Structure 1
Amino acid sequence: MSYVNPAELVAKMVDAGAAKAFMSTRDTIIRAFMAGAILALAAAFAVTVTCRPDSRSSAHCSSRSGSACCICWGSTC
């Protein structure tokens, strides 16, 4: 990756901010929904990977509060 002068970086950041400030309401709403969808997918995959109800009896389980899901930090859980 090449080096970017701080002044050039600031100029590009200001230009990007100005472009976003003058973006239409429709485009802003579409981008907001798309960002929310990506965040929801990431959260769903994170819960799918870390939430294993059958691991509640494991000694490596970090939560035994009676919830339906427990997050395990070790690879053996």
Structure 2
Amino acid sequence: MIKKVQIYKTDKWNMLNVEVHGRQIIVREISDQWGEEAHTFLSRPELMNWAEQRFAADRFPGTPEEREEILAKLREV
């Protein structure tokens, strides 16, 4: 069984989706700048380590609340 979770979607080109395939977690990041990137993780700590770096507070373009909401949704996966 595959569990799909949408973390955020700002428009039809900018979104972050997560698919859980048993123990494997696949993050699909779609942006109008880079196209689609898929990241595969074998554990939740590995996913959260990536997320903390990807959505680093000093480089995140949105508000601190938006950043925390994204990280909270990823923790719930």
Shorter-chain TM-score tier: under 0.3
More strand by share: 2
Whichever of the two has the greater Rg, that structure is 1
Higher relative contact order (CA 8 A, sep 6+): 2
More helix by share: 1
Alignment TM-score, normalising by the size of structure 2: 0.26
